[in-house]
Structures are given as C-alpha cells and as structure tokens.
Structure 1
Amino acid sequence: MDFTPIKDAMTSKSYGKIADVCDDLMLQVSTQGIAFEDEWPYTIHLLGHIYVDDINSARFLWKSIPPAIKERQPEVGAAWKIGQRLWTRDYAAVHEAIRGFEWSPEAQCIVAAFSELYTKKMFQLLLSAYSTISIQDTALFLGMSEDDVTNYVVEQGWTVDSASRMLTVKKQPIVTEQKLDPSKLQRLTEYVFHLEH
C-alpha cells in the first residue's frame, strides 16, 4: 500500500491536511477491496482529525478501528485519549493525555504541533473569558507548571499579584473598522466611471 501522500503531508508539516489525505486514501483503498487494517496509520489518522478539531470524525474513526488493532497498537488508544478529553471538554486533561504517552517519532511531530496549537487556543479562551484568574487554574488550562505559566502570561502583558496568586488578564485592544469618507467614495466612483467611458 502506498502511503506517500500521508508521508508527504507529515514531512511538509501540513498537519491540517492529514485528516483529509487519510480519509481520501482510506476511501480509495476501501473501494478497491484491499485489506488494509493492519497497515493503516490509525494513530496519525486520529491525530489528523484531532489537530483540525474534528472530534466527531475522530470518534467515528475510533469506533471503526478493529478491536484487535486497538489492543496491538497502544498508541492508537493514546491518540484517542486526547480525543476523549476534547470531547468531554476536560481541557486540563488534554495536556495530561499528551504527556502521558511515549509517542513514536512519526506521531511525536503532529502531537507537538497540536500541543502548541491547543495551548494558544486555550490562552485565547482565557483571554476572552477572564479578567482575573488564579495562577493554578491558568497552569491547568495551559498545561504548564505554575512558574512556567507565570512567565508565559507575563510575557503577554498580564500582571501577577504574588500575595493572592492571581493573574490580571491584559485584554487585547479592540480593532475598530475605519469608516469610509463619503467624499472619497464619490471620487473613486467618478474615477472608475471615467475609466470605463
């Protein structure tokens, strides 16, 4: 079986394309009646869906994986553990699931990329949801130690109250749309009209 398209997507770090590449290839192989269960890169396929935050497709794929594969390939179960945590919105446990397994070199790349993406997503969630939050809670959400998370958020402009162990969130400035001057619009319209006639 030729897994070149999957390998190419992994090599180019096009992790956002992995799920689609795997889905298309699996469909092609299935329609040809080729038995592929033992060779299929289920871990990468699951992680591809998780990377693009398509947990429904990851669940469907997990349910379709033969039980014998799940038993023989513990990495497949470890990938699904991340998916389960996302499904139940157990945000802090996502980081535990990521760190709780010794990933193969192939999977390590996409897991590390997902971890970074997920941390940024959680940071944006905290940014939009809180004005103050404890260091401990922030560390859970971002999957870092309390010291690391304090350094991370201070770099983002947050402030720390050491006595209360609370962080004050620095909100991002709201970008307002620039209003178009009606006289400029009129001149542009006249100019375009002149060019056309």
Structure 2
Amino acid sequence: MDFSPLTDALASKSYGKIADICDELMLKGAAEMEGVPFEEEWPFAIHLLAHIYVNDTNSARFLWKSIPAAVKERQPEVVAVWGIGQRLWTRDYAAVHEAIRAFDWSQQIQPLVDAFSEVYTKRMFQLLLSAYSTISIQDTALFLGMNEDDATSYVLQQGWVVDPDSRMLIVKKQPVKTEQKLDSSKLQRLTEYVFHLEH
C-alpha cells in the first residue's frame, strides 16, 4: 500500500489533514486488498490520534471499535492513544495531559503527539477564558497540564493577573468585537432608496 500521502503530511506537519488522508487510504486499501487483512501495516495509532487532533472524538471512538483486538494487544501505542481519547470522551480534561505523558511514544508519532498537546493546551486556555472570571493557580495548572509556575507564567503572558494573597488568577477576558452601527442618516437614505424602488 502506498502511504506516501500520509508520509508527506507528517513530514510537512499538515496534521489537520491526516485524519482525512488515513480515512481515504483505509477505504482504498480495503477495496484493493479485498478482504485480506492489512492490520499489521496500518498506522492505527496515527490514524486514531489524527481524529483526536482535529477534535473529532466520535470518529476516533468508531475507529477504536473497529480496530481488531489482536492489534490492540500487539500495539500498546494504539491503546495509549485511545487513553487520550477516553479522557476527552469523558471530559476528564486534566487527565488528558497525564495520558500524553504516561507513554513513551515512538519517534514516528511523537511530533503529532507534541502538536496535539500544544493545540489541546490552547483549547483548554480558551475554555478557561470563557468559563471563569477567577480561578486558582492549582486548577489552572491542572487544566493546562503544567506545573504551577509554568501555568502562571503562561496565563500572565496572556494578560491575566495573579492575586498574591488568595493565589487566585484574575482572568482577562478578550475584548468583544462590536458590530459597526449604521448611523441614522445612512439608515434614512437607505429607507428612501428602497421606498423609491418600490414606487
């Protein structure tokens, strides 16, 4: 089977495209092999993580269910990737970082794991930004998968403020973009124009 589209996407760090590439290759491979199992050579760990990377946990879950038990037994990396997926599926957000750090990833998948970790940290930051006005340093560190000093440094760079007495972080909300309002004279001219068109 020709894995060059996947190899090229990994080499160019086009991680957002990998899930679709793997889905296409799997369909093509299944058609070409006509029932001959190709489980041994299929990059299940990359395919599974690619769906997780694009935040498509439903597809990851269905892929996991379709992976033969023999593959799961022989490829612990596939099981480790699903460990990340399980945490996401159950919304155990803080445990996702633990699942990432708990496995010694192969050289082939490590860059994708690192990229997912970075994207996931940004997603968690956005979640904290939208959900909290104040949050403890300890909880922030848990969500961001960092130690308390690194988490504090990370959010301070985003404009948050730390209250040294309570050890709480004050969340700096992003400014809401307001729609440009139409002034009344423009609205009046528009109304007159529409009136003339109708009569």
Q: What residue is the counterpart of 1:145 in the other structure?
A: 147
Separation (CA, whole Å) in 2 of partners of 1:125 and 1:67: 35
Aligned to 1:101: 103
TM-score in terms of structure 1 length: 0.91
The yes-or-no answer on 1:20 pairing with 2:20 is yes
Amino acid at match of 2:22: C
Which secondary structure state, in structure 2, belongs to the residue aligned with residue 105 of structure 1?
A: coil
**The 10-residue stretch of structure 1 (98-107 or 39-48) with the greater mean CA deviation from structure 2:** 98-107
- CA separation of 1:174 and 1:6: change in aligned 2, threshold 3 A: same
Q: Please, what is the CA RMSD of the aligned residues?
A: 1.7
| Bigger Cα displacement from structure 2, 79-88 vs 153-162 | 153-162
Letter matched to residue 10 of structure 1: L
**Structure 2: distance between partners of 1:121 and 1:102:** 24
Question: CA, structure 1 residues 158+31, in 2 after alignment: closer, same or farther (shift >3 Å)?
Answer: same
TM-superposed CA distance for 1:164, in Å, is 1.3
1:76 matched residue in structure 2? 78
Partner letter of residue 51 of structure 2?
Answer: H
In the alignment, the residues of structure 2 paired with residue 131 and residue 61 of structure 1 have an alpha-carbon distance, to the nearest angstrom, of 38
Runs of 4 or more above 6 Å deviation? 184-187
TM-score, structure 2 length as denominator?
A: 0.90
Deviation at 1:186, TM superposition (A): 6.4
The amino acid of 1:132's aligned partner reads T
> Where in structure 1 are there 5+ consecutive unaligned residues?
191-197
Q: Distance in 1 between matches of 2:12 and 2:182?
A: 42
Structure 1 residues 32-181: aligned runs within 5 Å: 32=32, 33=34, 34-180=36-182
The answer for the alignment partner of 1:30 in structure 2 is 30
For 1:176 and 1:107, locate their aligned partners in 2 and report how far apart those are by CA, in whole Å: 42
> What are the superposed Cα offsets for residues 125-144 of structure 1, whole Å, 9 maximum, x if unpaired?
10111000000000000000
Taking every aligned residue pair, what percent have the same amino acid on both sides? Answer: 71
Q: Secondary structure at the match of 1:53?
A: coil
- Give the superposition deviation at 1:52: 0.6
Deviation of 1:35 (Å): 2.7
Q: Which amino acid aligns with 2:163?
A: D
| Counterpart-to-counterpart distance in 2, 1:183 and 1:128 | 36
1:12 Cα deviation from its structure 2 partner: 1.1
Shift of 1:183: 3.9
Aligned residues: 188
> For 1:106, what is the secondary structure of its paired residue?
coil
Q: Which residue of 2 aligns with 1:195?
A: none
Shift of 1:70: 0.8
Looking at structure 2, the residues matched to 88 and 183 of structure 1 have their Cα atoms a distance apart, in angstroms, of: 52
Distance 1:21 1:60 in 2: 17
